[in-house]
Amino acid sequence: MIDYNSIPVTMVKGVSAAKQQELHAFGISTVADLLLYFPYRYEDFHVRRLDEVKDGEKITIEGRIVSTPVVQRFGKKSKVTVRIMVEEWLVSATWFNRPYMREQLTQGRDVVVTGKWDQRRLQITVATSEFADRGAMRKDTLQPVYSVRGKITQNWMRKTIAQAMLQFSETISEVLPAELMRRYRLMPRKQAIAALHNPQDAQAGKQARRRMVYEELLLFQLKLHAFRALNRERADGVAHEASNTQVKEFVRSLPFELTDGQKGAVTDILADMRSPYCMNRLLQGDVGSGKTVVSAIALYASVCSGYQGALMVPTEILAEQHMRSLMKLFEPHGIQIALLTGSVTGRKRKDVLAGLQMGAIDILVGTHALIQEDVFFKRLGLVVTDEQHRFGVNQRSILRRKGMNPDVLLMTATPIPRTLAITAFGDMDVTSIKDRPAGRKPIKTYWVKHEMLERVLGFIRREVDQGRQAYMICPLIEESDKLDVQNAIDVHVQMQQAFPNLSVGLLHGRMSAAEKDEAMRAFSSGSTHLLVSTTVIEVGVDVPNSTLMIIMDAERFGLSQLHQLRGRVGRGEHQSYCVLIADPKSEVGKERMRIMTETEDGFELSQRDLELRGPGDFFGTKQSGLPEFKLADMASDFAVLEQAREDAAELIGMENFWTTAEYRPLHDMLKQEQLFQGELLD
């Protein structure tokens, strides 16, 4: 391994114990950490030609002083102005609050100044300046800018990293195999690190970055591949033994024919379940593509094989709904199902826990509490997680810690652009359902202003008159779920007044589990015509008779959220509609509304969402499990990521990868690093 890896950062001249503490907050404790702390941008001190600069730009120009300086004072403030001949232009240069400059700005002196350019006045507001007769003019035309805060200043960081390079750059050794270096014409590691901190020019900086990004992504992909290989080697998963006939019979008992996508998914999943390897599969499918029934088939196969299954969902409402639909499917087969959520307490909860441990319960449906805490299964064979993107926790490691090693199936309706999928779920096998149940009509989406509300209400009445149902979604008001609820309550009252002859329901997060369940049941059964709700119904809710989705203040939602909400309709044979009521002020807001009316394809939508928001925000908060890269950027380094993925597969697939000396540095780096939180390689 590279020597500098274990050297404490205090070995760098100028790093005191106090500074060491400060650096710790940056994640820097060794010399290696410091050397790999790269600038996030560079300041460009290239001397520019005046005919190629733009107004308002920060520029560096070179010229000769041709006037005596004029000093103006306003109280404590001051301003020194001098004229400089730059090429054939007479430029006025101004230093604010540096009256002492007056002595230095003598006529005939050659000067280089950096500052903000005012095109109209041919004037530059000087930030820094240098004189030719003071020795060498600035050589480093690109200055690194590091992310700093607290007591660590930009200058200190620059100086310290330069010092660390001086002392330790000789110990930086190559980690990439020579063959890959040649194939992609990569800069040697030492040179690349040096160039990132102090590039001679933009081109050198670019090449250095390319090299380090490749290294970072290759290592990341190697980790994922190594992890998968390890999983294969272990072969300590559950080998389900359900027969084809059993599964086929169950599929025949369903009220509809499976789509091709569903059939493909079932085939993949059953193959995984039968093998002794631990299944680790992600099932992707747009809203309404019919993932629930696929998971039901998998759960059925698990029970037929003598195991227990669990279905984990993000909300209680969804848990209740799945409970109801699975009961319908499974009860004729004598399968026992139970529900476990935060609102199942006391005696009931005790019974469920006992039933699980005794093996009297075959399938458990619930929120994420069901794989944690004091829940123990007799023979857990399969865990399905619906709407996976809502969970941040690494379920596999939780399960392993409990001494269980079931097959794991994750389902998500948030279509993840391919590159993000490789990053976030790179250690998983992925199946996508690309079709939809036959007979579905595209949902018609309209974007209207608030003043159109009256007409929208007319629309509701028409749909209800035809026997259909509608949702009206009220948005989050800032971060306060209290205001949020109040708003829904107000809208509910308004709607009751607007539709005295209709049954208008209300659903929000502050209702008790029983109240929520009651509201959902009333809507499911069709006795409620219009359901006023907060976003608690965003994911998973399935009422095929509802055909109209109205989203109030739609500009307050993100694209994927709007798409999820829209996915609550269009689940049956009737034509469905989505109405976005919004007066967005920002361009991005307008763009979101336009995209919604233009496409119903979740994959396209998420790709455009990614472009609008950037990858960091794609999954919302930090819970995503997306790894953080030092340099690589998921939006712009797509191609490198894919290449690195291929190369990693090739390397790991080699018979002698783990025994060849040339790959030692890679082995060492792999062993040192953790894969994801809690998932150690060995």
Burial of 167 (0-12, 13-18, 19+ CB in 10 A): middle
Site for Mg ion contains 69 (CB under 5 A): no
Token pair of 351, please?
A: 């019974």
Q: Which of 408, 413, 464, 648 binds ligand ADP (CB under 6 A)?
A: 413
Question: What residue ranges in 67-194 does DSSP mark as E strands?
Answer: 70-74, 77-86, 89-96, 110-118, 123-131, 142-145
Distance of closest approach, residue 380 Cβ to ligand ADP, in angstroms: 23
What is the footprint of Mg ion within residues 574-593 (CB under 5 A)? Answer: none
Distance of closest approach, residue 592 Cβ to ligand ADP, in angstroms: 21
In sequence order, the 6+-apart residues with CB closer than 8 A to the CB of 391 are: 312, 314, 368, 385, 623
Question: What residue ranges in 158-207 does DSSP mark as E strands?
Answer: none
User: Using CB distances below 5 to 8 A depending on partner kind, what does residue 544 bind out of ligand ADP, Mg ion, none?
Assistant: ligand ADP
Q: Which of 540, 572, 584, 602 binds Mg ion (CB under 5 A)?
A: 540
| 3-state DSSP assignment of residue 324 | helix
User: Using CB distances below 5 to 8 A depending on partner kind, what does residue 205 bind out of Mg ion, ligand ADP, none?
Assistant: none
What is the footprint of ligand ADP within residues 414-443 (CB under 6 A)? Answer: 437
Site for ligand ADP contains 288 (CB under 6 A): yes
> Which one of 127-135, 283-291, 362-370, 612-620 is the stretch in contact with ligand ADP (CB under 6 A)?
283-291
In sequence order, the 6+-apart residues with CB closer than 8 A to the CB of 332 are: 253
> Which one of 96-104, 235-243, 533-541, 550-558 is the stretch in contact with Mg ion (CB under 5 A)?
533-541
Give CA–CA dist 646/221, Å, rounded.
9
Closer Cβ to Mg ion, 160 or 560, answer by number = 560
Closer Cβ to ligand ADP, 39 or 567, answer by number = 567
Site for ligand ADP contains 544 (CB under 6 A): yes
Q: Which of 542, 553, 600, 647 binds ligand ADP (CB under 6 A)?
A: 542
In sequence order, the 6+-apart residues with CB closer than 8 A to the CB of 556 are: 475, 476
Distance of closest approach, residue 467 Cβ to ligand ADP, in angstroms: 17
Closer Cβ to ligand ADP, 274 or 333, answer by number = 333
User: Using CB distances below 5 to 8 A depending on partner kind, what does residue 417 bind out of ligand ADP, Mg ion, none?
Assistant: none
DSSP state, residue 474: P
CB closest to ligand ADP, residue no: 290
Distance of closest approach, residue 544 Cβ to ligand ADP, in angstroms: 5
* Residue 51: count of CB within 10 angstroms of its CB: 8
Closer Cβ to ligand ADP, 99 or 544, answer by number = 544
Closer Cβ to Mg ion, 427 or 538, answer by number = 538
DSSP secondary structure letters along 296-350: HHHHHHHHHTT-EEEEE-SSHHHHHHHHHHHHHHHGGGT--EEEE-TT--HHHHH
Single-letter code of the amino acid located at 651: L
User: Using CB distances below 5 to 8 A depending on partner kind, what does residue 293 bind out of Mg ion, ligand ADP, none?
Assistant: ligand ADP
Closer Cβ to ligand ADP, 89 or 256, answer by number = 256
With CB under 6 A, what is the number of residues at the site for ligand ADP?
Answer: 18
Q: What is the 3-state secondary structure (H, E, C) of 666-679?
A: HHHHHHHCCCCCCC
Token pair of 585, please?
A: 């002020």
CB closest to Mg ion, residue no: 540
> Which one of 438-446, 540-548, 596-604, 646-654 is the stretch in contact with Mg ion (CB under 5 A)?
540-548
User: Using CB distances below 5 to 8 A depending on partner kind, what does residue 309 bind out of ligand ADP, Mg ion, none?
Assistant: none
Site for ligand ADP contains 385 (CB under 6 A): no
| CA 135 to mean position of chain CA atoms | 50
Closer Cβ to ligand ADP, 93 or 326, answer by number = 326
Site for ligand ADP contains 293 (CB under 6 A): yes
Q: Which of 291, 508, 563, 574 binds ligand ADP (CB under 6 A)?
A: 291
Q: Which of 287, 298, 370, 408 binds ligand ADP (CB under 6 A)?
A: 287
What is the footprint of ligand ADP within residues 555-614 (CB under 6 A)? Answer: 571
Closest CA to 547 of 527, 526, 568, 517: 568
Closest CA to 429 of 282, 293, 561: 282
* Residue 391: count of CB within 10 angstroms of its CB: 19
Give CA–CA dist 292/300, Å, rounded.
12
Site for ligand ADP contains 412 (CB under 6 A): no
Q: Is 302 in contact with 309 (CB distance < 8 Å)?
A: yes
With CB under 5 A, what is the number of residues at the site for Mg ion?
Answer: 1
Pairing of strands 363-366, 308-312: parallel
Single-letter code of the amino acid located at 285: G
| 3-state DSSP assignment of residue 247 | helix
DSSP state, residue 185: T
Strands, sheet with 429-433, edge to edge from the N-terminal-most edge strand: 337-340, 363-366, 308-312, 380-385, 407-412, 280-285, 429-433
Site for Mg ion contains 602 (CB under 5 A): no
Question: What residue ranges in 497-632 does DSSP mark as E strands?
Answer: 504-507, 530-533, 546-551, 577-581
Token pair of 522, please?
A: 């009333």
Closer Cβ to ligand ADP, 325 or 405, answer by number = 325
Rounded to 5 degrees, φ, ψ at 450 are -55, -35
Site for Mg ion contains 415 (CB under 5 A): no
Distance of closest approach, residue 293 Cβ to ligand ADP, in angstroms: 5
Distance of closest approach, residue 294 Cβ to ligand ADP, in angstroms: 8
Site for ligand ADP contains 289 (CB under 6 A): yes
Closer Cβ to ligand ADP, 382 or 539, answer by number = 539
Site for ligand ADP contains 283 (CB under 6 A): no
User: Using CB distances below 5 to 8 A depending on partner kind, what does residue 437 bind out of ligand ADP, Mg ion, none?
Assistant: ligand ADP
Closest CA to 317 of 511, 489, 504, 516: 516
Site for ligand ADP contains 256 (CB under 6 A): yes
Distance of closest approach, residue 472 Cβ to ligand ADP, in angstroms: 21
In sequence order, the 6+-apart residues with CB closer than 8 A to the CB of 411 are: 282, 283, 284, 285, 291, 294, 295, 384, 385, 386, 387, 388
Residues that bind ligand ADP (CB under 6 A): 256-259, 262, 285, 287-293, 413, 437, 542, 544, 571
